[in-house]
Structure 1
Amino acid sequence: MAKKLVSVWLSLTVLLFSSISIYAEENVQGDFFIKEIVVNGETIDNDHLQFPFFLYKDTTYFPLTPEMGEIFGIKTEFDFESRTLKLLKTEPSLVNISERWKKNERKEIETQTFSDAKVLMYELDYQSLAKVLGGDTAKVNSDISEETEGTVSDEVIKIPQLSVRELDLGGLPVLTRDKVVYLPLKAMSGKDGFAWDVYYDSYTGIYVSTKEGTPAKSYWKEAESKYNKGLVNYIREYNGSYSENKAQELVFMFKHAAETYKIDEKILMAVAHKESTFNSKARGSSGSLGMMQVMPSTGARYGLGESQLLDAETSINFGAMYLSERIAAYGGDVSKGFSAYNQGSVAVNRGSYSTRYANRIIGTVDGISSYLTSHGYGSGN
């Protein structure tokens, strides 16, 4: 007769839940987390998460989806009526996302608050559990919520030494979006959480280590941080209206667009520098709009209105797409590609274009590279 290991998950602690429906207090907006997310050395692509990481009250919130639970090593259950969230610490069984969802819009994320939610944290003594399972540590590390062949007896196995304590969120609320629960990442760090180590670098992003004895900073991308800092300082040198934080966001917009459309971010920055001095609200004398100075008629062909062209990220993404297309159309000839971006493909095709604009952009790209190397910021590699 098969012997079964009863799921630890919440069957060991019986809570009496209220039968009265209690609803979320209010809807709030979170800001998409635009920087990098690195968990145990693996970069998590926030652009391809159905439920992305976001910022609320300057705090990074992470989603308690089943897949993220496998990456972090957590099993969760949230009772919406009692406002009780239960977390069980397990072993990470996944290193990165397995399914890349359609890219999200990287915009504000609407969530619901549960400020008085109780978060209970459950942990197992794995060594004690291994003894009960006859020393089979493989079973300990397997999915404890699944039925497992036992080795002790035909009786239901009682899981030993399950500790439970309440997590202090430091006054921050539990948030939900489409029934997916979000928690502040920092609440999980240190001895008061699940002992995760969290390191934040404003020039690259957030780093998390769930591995005991492995500091999160050991995953820090130092060369990339220096490179990004150089790009931030370059923007601020030519447009002093940007705070350091806003310039950092702008750099990540350039880098994201560059990665998406397979074009050097320094090219995009050079165009934005020469077209608008990094001013997202710029209006040209010819009617061109935004950071990348796109003509309204051109934007309209792609379904973009004036307000969208005056949005920094939309303008950068469109400019990256359009530039990439123009360069590809001329077999990688950047001079013709830049000229087509500025004067139109018709002029380039008939040979009646000037290379003055292209030379300015090429010179500015070289200038950015020179600025980075001369100031010791490196190339990011």
Structure 2
Amino acid sequence: MVIQALLVLSPPEGCADIYKYEDSEGVLHFTDAPTDKRFVIFMRDIKKDRELRTRLKLSQNANPAEYEQIIKTCSEKYGVSAPLIKAVIHAESGYNPNAVSHKGASGLMQLMPGTAKSLKVSNSFNPRDNVEGGVKYLRFLLDTFRGDVSLALAAYNAGLNKVAKFGGIPPYAETRTYVDRVLSYMQSYQAN
């Protein structure tokens, strides 16, 4: 019994975060792939946490202050916090308005062509249009998931259908890393 507890408390190198929740009967449930929002972080994977904080640096030519007024205006217009908007921009493009992903997403908030079209964003490389479209989409996702920022971010990354299909954050490493990264950036922006 003691050995089992030590194994749980001392995960081997390369393990994922461990989440837990206690049900109504007092039974503790643990997982590394939570599918229910009742799960909370129990043990953070230190290596992964360090990577989240250092992986994406700002674009060399990035000047976040250049977009401050656009972010403020969109934040007020759509009721989405400025730290969340900044965190998404930071994670998505590193504040590079000309960023293009290998999947075809573009601009500061990395809008996919279909999403940009549905949001009436005619030029994804125009910072004002891109941020407005991205924030409008974030507002929709936040409303859809009743203000649950983690689920909204998961849908922003993996798509609304994937979050609905899995009833929570999809079990994709990329999406889980993305959500953690954006939340970490958001906390940093809130502190400043």
Q: TM-score, normalised by structure 2?
A: 0.63
Query: What is the CA RMSD across the aligned residues, in angstroms?
Result: 1.8
Whole-angstrom distance in 1 between the partners of 2:184 and 2:65 = 24
Specify the alignment match of 1:63 in structure 2.
none
Instruction: Give the strand-richer structure, 1 or 2.
Output: 1
**2:116 is the counterpart of 1:296:** no
Does residue 356 (structure 1) correspond to residue 171 (structure 2)? The answer is: no
Ranked by relative contact order (alpha carbons within 8 Å, sequence separation 6 or more), the top structure is 2
Query: How far apart are 1:289 and its partner, in Å?
Result: 0.6
Structure 1 position 360, deviation (Å): 1.4
Residue 366 of structure 1 deviates from its aligned partner by: 1.0
- Residues 1:347 and 2:167 are matched in the alignment: no
1:278 deviation in Å? 0.3
CA deviation string 1:230-273 (max 9, x = no partner):
xxxxxxx9345256xxx444111111111111011111110110
Q: Which amino acid aligns with 2:177?
A: R
Task: Report the equivalent of 1:330.
Answer: 145
Deviation string 1:62-104 (CA, Å, 9 cap, x unpaired) is xxxxxxxxxxxxxxxxxxxxxxxxxxxxxxxxxxxxxxxxxxx
Corresponding residue for 1:261?
78
Inter-CA distance 251–336: structure 2 relative to 1 (3 Å threshold): same
Aligned to 2:30: none
Q: In the alignment, residue 310 of structure 1 is paired with which amino acid? A: F
In 2, Cα distance between equivalents of 1:318 and 1:343: 17
Counterpart position of 2:61: 241
Kindly provide the amino acid, as one letter, of the partner of residue 125 in structure 2.
L
Question: Hey, what does 2:49 align to over in structure 1?
Answer: none
Q: Which residue of 2 aligns with 1:161?
A: none
Q: Does 1:250 align with 2:74?
A: no
Q: Give identity over the alignment, percent.
A: 25
1:362 offset after TM fit, Å? 0.6
Secondary structure (helix, strand or coil) at the match of 2:187 reads helix
Matching of residues 119-198 of structure 1 within 5 Å: none
Find the counterpart in structure 1 of residue 186 from structure 2: 365
Please identify the structure whose Cα radius of gyration is greater. Answer: 1
What amino acid maps onto 2:109 in structure 1? M
Query: What is the rounded CA distance, in whole Å, between the counterparts of 1:299 and 1:238 in structure 2?
Result: 23
Runs of at least 5 residues in structure 2 that lack an aligned partner in the other structure: 1-56
1:201-216 pair list within 5 angstroms: none
In 2, distance between residues paired with 1:345 and 1:239?
28
1:8-19 matched pairs, under 5 angstroms: none
Q: Which residue of 2 aligns with 1:15?
A: none
How do residues 25-104 of structure 1 correspond to structure 2 at under 5 angstroms?
none
SS at match of 1:238: coil
Letter in 1 for 2:142: I
Give the total of aligned pairs: 130
CA distances 1:123-151 after superposition (whole Å, capped 9, x unpaired): xxxxxxxxxxxxxxxxxxxxxxxxxxxxx
Give the C-alpha shift of residue 350 in structure 1.
1.1
Unaligned runs of 5+ residues in structure 1 are 1-236, 373-381
Structure 1 position 299, deviation (Å): 1.1
CA drift at 1:367: 2.0
Check conservation: 2:62, 2:96, Cα contact below 8 A: no
In 2, Cα distance between equivalents of 1:239 and 1:282: 9
